[in-house]
Structure formats: structure tokens, C-alpha cells
Structure 1
């Protein structure tokens, strides 16, 4: 369903995110040009304001433009992608691990995510004004809390140590968890530890899970299944296997399909903006008119019928996809550009409409299944882990014969499927980070046959401070209470 976003033109709705010293206007302006207090006396205004929070996920630094776009950052910083010499060299600094507090590749998410949080907090600030009651009030609160938790978690895993990453993580710097609408507040600090920050995220999600009643018919809004699924993600990062399984299974119970083999290509390519087939999607950021943001532009642009790519698939990674894997033809298009053959990433290119304008799959059932499979393995339940893994593989490989892996081979198979399944969905960097693994890139070049120019920087050791991205320098200048991460 297409969201209807109103605009309330009032200076008070200008969000000054003091953490980033950056102004962002809420996408809400009404034809009546009324004060926010008056607008929020109508029940429909809560929905419209909340839709503005969902829209903020498409801000620069989150899921639009090319610099720092989270649809590519989790892959270009790892062994999945390699810079294409035919591209514009966008995001090259991040690909070479040249992180700093004044480049947008690794700092853009900070301000973009806090802008999402501020919009959610605006809705919550009016929740007790007596306009909403009962189920309607509960659902608005649940969605706002889920949005707030999701954005905070994205900040947390990028800018702080992940609990499973190292033994000392829980007591290290967490994040500022914003729980009230105070756009001019510049006293925020990273006073919470990592452990306390995770507890804040989980607390919001548990309240959301308890209060939300709406089903998942509209994938562009949080549902109970999506909240359960997000809880499974957060608990996996926290290292809580029992709750990863508990909430993952609750999500799978409400939304069991991991996307069928028949539908898999269609959920990515069906049409631009607002996909008709959403099998296996738990929550997506819609991208229909009038916004129509080119979310896939960070990968490539279509020029005179040819893909000009900024980044292409690493040769070894591309060849890890079997020929009977539906993901291979869905994610990649081998094609010429300037008489050279590349393995282009066309997962977000769309099909028939404007190029690179598609919905953003924020959370899918397949990820939740993989969360539960990994946590089940970690808990000693290899039978469940294997059954779940085979359930996913059955819907990805034609002529699939169920696997019989056990022990380390089973864990390796789970992690391999995670890498293949969630490629180019902002997962690889964070999976390596939470597992405490190093990055070791191949020596292959950018051309489809492995020739060409290899990656400039091929290794990032697990103990490197760069795994925690730098806090933007303008945020620290605006608010000296914010502690910079080590190494910057």
C-alpha cells in the first residue's frame, strides 16, 4: 500500500539533530499550514507523521544516493565486492579502509539514523494527548518504538563494538539512546555501555512486540512478525542464542515462507517502486512515487544500454554461487562495458521501470531462519540447524538434494548460505565483525574472468579499531560530550 505523507509546515517540526550539527526537515507539509499542536489533535495525523519516520530511512547516508549508501557499505568494505576501474571511484576511501571522521562514507549513517529516531520520537511525544485510544494507540506506539529501535541498532552495530566481537565489548562505549523529542538538545553523550545500549534497543522492541496487533499485509510498516524478526537479529548480535531462537521461531510461525524458488526473482525485479510480490519480506522501505529514490545507484548506472559499475562482484565470491542457484541470475548480470566483461550487481536494478528504483528489503524471513539456524547450532541442536538450512536451500537450488552436514561443516554451511543469501543487503561487514573474523580479500581483479586490477587493500585484521566506524567530526564539534572511537 502506498503511504500518504502530509506535510506540516512549522519551524518546530524542523529537526536539529544536535548529535550531528545538521538540520533535517520532516517530510510533512499540509495545505492548511497549521501548528503541530493543532495537527496532532487528529488521529490521522499520527499515521501521517509516522509515515514521515519511515520515509526518513531513505535519507542520504541510509538508503539513497551513492556515498555511504547502506545497501552497499556492508559489502564494499568486505570480500564481496571490488572497485571497478570503469566506475567513478565513489566510496573508494571506504573500500580501502580509509575511514575518518570527516568522510561521509562511514559517518553519514550516524546523522541519517538519528534523524529517523527524531521523527519517531516526535510521534511518541504526542501519544498521551488523548487523541488516540485502545488498539489504534497501541499500534502507533509499537511502530514508533520499532522504528526507533531499528535506527538505534543500526547506529550501535556500526559505531560500537558488538558483544560477540570481543570479550570486553559489554563495558565499552555504547551510544546515545534518544527517548524523547528534544531537537535542540546538545547535551547528549555516550554514557551508556554497549550492554546497556542493547538493553535499550531490546526494551523498545519487546514493548512493540507486546502492543502491536496489525498483520503484515503492508510490508512497508512494522508488523508483529517483523518486530519478532528484528528481535532475533538483535539477540544474535548480543550473543543470546535462546532468545534468538525464541523470537525467530515466533516470526517464522507468523511468516514461514523464506520466499519460494518461483517467487525469488520477482521480489527483487517485479516492478519499480512498489513490488507486487512480497513473499518472504517482513519489512521493506517503500520507494514509490513521488520519492522514487535511486537506491541502487551506488552499484551502477545504465548508460546507453550498458551497466557502468562502481563496484562489481569479487571473482571468487561470484563463483561461489552454483549455476543452479536462483540467486546467481537474480543478483548478477555479466555484461560488457566499454568492451570489457564485468559481473555487475543488478539486484536493485529493477525490471522495466526507471533503473535502480526499487523497495529496500530491510528484513526478510530468510535472515530470521538463518539467525535461528546459527543460534540452534551454537546451542548444540544440530538437527534443527540442519533442517532449517535445508529448508532455505530447497528454495534456492533447482534439483536440490538435502544436505547431511554435521559439526564444523554444518556451521560453515550456515555461514556460507548467509553470505550468499544476504549479499548486498548490508550484512557481510557486520557478520564478520560480530564473529570476530578478519577480512581477507582475493588477489583477483575486477574483470569477469578475474583479470584486471585487484583490491588495493586486501586485509583488515579482526583486532583493528577500524571495525568501529568514526563518529562524525561535526557531531563532536557541536557536542564535545560525544566520545570519539579509538583510533581516530
Structure 2
């Protein structure tokens, strides 16, 4: 039988993969050709293997390159972005709702997320072999299970229905939940309902929350505050508002900041590690790695050339006293046309462009989750308190709001759109609320003129809210059922 070989480096575990089904066939090769069982007899190897799982978040289909980059997919498929006529047409098909099982724009996440899961399961395979003990063991097991959970969550919300999306959504087809390291697996199937997948995601996160003890100084590794925040996110999607509040409040109790006004611009523009105010978990990135996560939006050639720019109606929703406006946008000319470019991920002047950490989870999102959940459980007063806390840190001049009823919910959802724009939220917010995509009809130029999107809307009942499973996964494992109508 062929043995797997592991490559150990100080940076991370390097894995070469080929898709077999939802899992991967992992050949881990190095110049020293060390058998994986032997390698995993050293404590330091577990840390390197776990860091390799985190590193997989930087792969194509997750947070690097341009095609299918999750930093833009949740926005270009909605009313937040407009394709420019001077770009390269990257991701055009997805923006026009032309989803296809052989197009990596909407299938790349599936492949990338199962790689994260396989690497996490590799760590878990050896976690009880007696090499680790005490907090070193419990922290690594908690990290691996939490990372496995959030990768599955990213898959299920994209490729299956969201529980609050429709009355029957919880009982519709879910995804394969991979809980063992099995690189030759080609018999798995989508044998769980959406609700059952959420059960497993939450079980993994709860185990992690109960067992993790490491501090949150390294934002590139999961901490208790981050895991509580992720539980708040998952429960919001599930429609479990009591637990959205419970775990959100626990997260905010450990890490209360939603990013100070004075730091908001800096968390997007400073070098990694300089300012992390309000960040709970990030995909770390440095100039040495050359992961140009912002390239999906634009390139400096040397003037900004954008693939997509902010929709004019969204741009004008940011008032001049909103600190997010300068952090997210730059109005400039390219090819004799003026655009409102999205430069949230452009980085700091003087450093390589588009190389910044990906803020996977921020305290501001957790606060918005909890505020919405308070509203939906009848506690509008506390929802307003939280909403005003966020708004006080986003507007240079601010008078506390007094909204009630529907106006309060509208204000919470408005701030969610403004706050989390270009952070892979908008598509999934519309999906979980059962709302259509309805674009403004405005064009790509700075004043709303120019060329509008080809497709203007996506109705609530469209099958396209569930992205297609990649054909390569189905060819490798015919047990994986394709979503309807693809």
C-alpha cells in the first residue's frame, strides 16, 4: 500500500492534492520523504499541520487570486457592485447569474473549503496518538474542529438552502460533512438535511468553545472570542435568535470593541499586525506571501483599473461623515473615465498592492447579529442600544437614533450592508432573509451614469440561490448529487 509522505517546514504543512470526491487524495511529499506516522510523533509537527489547515484559506476559490475570490463573490452577485466596461471581465458570468458546474467562479469555494476540512481532519486523525497532552492537545483539537466547522458552514450556505430562506429549507438537501481524514474516499454522499448539517457545525463549534484556552493575540488563529462569534453567526443563519444573542454576547464580553473611529481606516490600510482593533479572526497575509487578495477588485497599472465598482446607490448611502467611506472607496480616473473604486483591500501606499489580511470575523458583525436577534425576539430597546454603539463609532458627528418597529429593523439591516460591504455578506444576507436581488439600474461611472449590469434581478424562488456543485467532484464521486436544474 502506498504510504502518505509529509513535508515539514517551519511555516506550514505543504500538501499537494487531487480531487476524488468531497475529500482529497493527499500526497505529502518532501526531500526527506518522511512517513506521516513518523512525522506526527513530534509535538511541533501538529502545530505545523494545523497552520497548514489555516493556510488553505488562502487558496484559489477562497481568498486569493481573482476568479471566485470570496472577498468579492458575495457582492458582485448582488446590488453592491457594478461591472466596469474597462475591466477584464473577470467573474462576469457570476455577476450576470450565469452559474455553471464547470465554472470556478461559483464552484471554486466547494473545492477550496473541502481542502481546509481535509487538513483539519488530518490533525484530528493523530490527536489521540499520545504525543500531545494538556492544553496543547485540547487547544489544537478545538482549533481543528472549529476550522472544520466554519469551512463546512461556508459550503452549506453557498450550495444548499439557508434555514431561514424558506419554510421547508431545513429539510432540504445539505452537504457531506467530513469528520474523518479519508483521502481515498469516493463513496460519500449528501446524506444530511440542511438542519442536520447545522447540528454538526454547531457541535464542532461548541466543543471548540468549551475546550479552547489560547488567547486572541494572534488573530490568525481561532480563540474563544472568535468561536463564540462564529456561533452567533451560524445561529443567526439558523434562525435560532436566542443562541445568536447568547453566544454573541459571550464574544462581545471577551472582546467588546467594534473598532474605534480612530482605528477604522487603519484596520484596512496598515501592515498586518499593526492594528487589529475589533478583529476576532483573520486570514493572515503578508507581503512575503504575495497573496493578492484584493486583485479581484482592481489592479494598479499604475492607475486603478477596476473589474467592479460600487453601485452608485450604495456609494451615496455612505454620508461624508461616515469613516467607512474613505476606508472603502477611492474616486479616480482610468482610461478617461471616472469611477468610485472599491479600495478596501488595496493596502497601504508604498507597499505591494492588494496584499492585506482578510478580516474573516469582526466584532461589528457579531454586534449586528445580536442587534437583529434582539429585535426579532421582541427586545427592540436593547437592539437600539447596540445599533447606536456601532453608529457612534462610524459617524464623526452622531446623534443617537430613536427608531422602533420596522424602522429599527431597517436601520439594523442598513448598517449591516454599509458595515459588511465587500466582506462576503450581502448575497447571504439576502438569501437568508428570502429577499430578491434587485439592482438599481445605475451605471458604472462615478455619478451613476455609464453602463449598468446586464441582469438586473434574481427572484426569491430561483434555483440559482444554491450554487452548482463542481462537475469535477461529481465525476470523481457520482454519489454527490448535483443541485436541481444544473
Q: TM-score, normalised by structure 2?
A: 0.96
2:21 to 5, 11, 19: 19
Equivalence map 1:161-180=2 (5 Å): 161-180=161-180
1:321 to partner: Cα distance: 0.5
Summarize the Cα distance change of 1:180–1:302 in structure 2 as closer, same or farther, 3 Å threshold.
same
1:278-334 CA distance string (max 9 Å, x none): 000000001125422000000000012x10000001011100101100000000000
Summarize the Cα distance change of 1:289–1:131 in structure 2 as closer, same or farther, 3 Å threshold.
farther
Which residue of the partner structure matches residue 335 of structure 2? 338
Which residue of the partner structure matches residue 142 of structure 1? 142
Contact 2:331–2:340, Cα closer than 8 Å, also in 1: yes
Which residue of the partner structure matches residue 350 of structure 1? 347
Which residue of the partner structure matches residue 221 of structure 2? 221
Contact 2:24–2:118, Cα closer than 8 Å, also in 1: no
Equivalence map 1:314-329=2 (5 Å): 314-329=311-326
What is the rounded CA distance, in whole Å, between the counterparts of 1:149 and 1:31 in structure 2? 33
What is the rounded CA distance, in whole Å, between the counterparts of 1:318 and 1:24 in structure 2? 45
1:420-464 CA distance string (max 9 Å, x none): 000000000000000000011011100001111011000100111
1:333-380 CA distance string (max 9 Å, x none): 000001110000000000021000000010000000000000000000
What is the rounded CA distance, in whole Å, between the counterparts of 2:446 and 2:179 in structure 1? 48
What is the rounded CA distance, in whole Å, between the counterparts of 2:24 and 2:90 in structure 1? 23
Which residue of the partner structure matches residue 419 of structure 1? 417
Which residue of the partner structure matches residue 438 of structure 1? 436
Q: Count the aligned residue pairs.
A: 477
What is the rounded CA distance, in whole Å, between the counterparts of 1:455 and 1:289 in structure 2? 34
1:4 to partner: Cα distance: 4.3
What is the rounded CA distance, in whole Å, between the counterparts of 1:241 and 1:374 in structure 2? 8
Counterpart secondary structure, 2:60: coil
What is the rounded CA distance, in whole Å, between the counterparts of 1:324 and 1:22 in structure 2? 49
What is the rounded CA distance, in whole Å, between the counterparts of 2:25 and 2:265 in structure 1? 39
What is the rounded CA distance, in whole Å, between the counterparts of 1:142 and 1:344 in structure 2? 40
1:35 to partner: Cα distance: 1.5
Which residue of the partner structure matches residue 71 of structure 1? 71
What is the rounded CA distance, in whole Å, between the counterparts of 2:383 and 2:13 in structure 1? 48
Q: TM-score, normalised by structure 1?
A: 0.96
Counterpart secondary structure, 2:132: coil
Contact 1:84–1:312, Cα closer than 8 Å, also in 2: yes
What is the rounded CA distance, in whole Å, between the counterparts of 2:168 and 2:146 in structure 1? 28
1:134 to partner: Cα distance: 1.0
What is the rounded CA distance, in whole Å, between the counterparts of 1:4 and 1:423 in structure 2? 36
Counterpart secondary structure, 2:139: helix
Equivalence map 1:43-54=2 (5 Å): 43-54=43-54
Contact 1:19–1:111, Cα closer than 8 Å, also in 2: no
Question: Which stretches in structure 1 are left out of the alignment for 5+ residues?
Answer: none
Equivalence map 1:394-413=2 (5 Å): 394-413=392-411
Contact 1:245–1:375, Cα closer than 8 Å, also in 2: yes
1:20 to partner: Cα distance: 5.6
Counterpart secondary structure, 1:263: helix
1:244 to partner: Cα distance: 0.3
1:17 to partner: Cα distance: 3.7
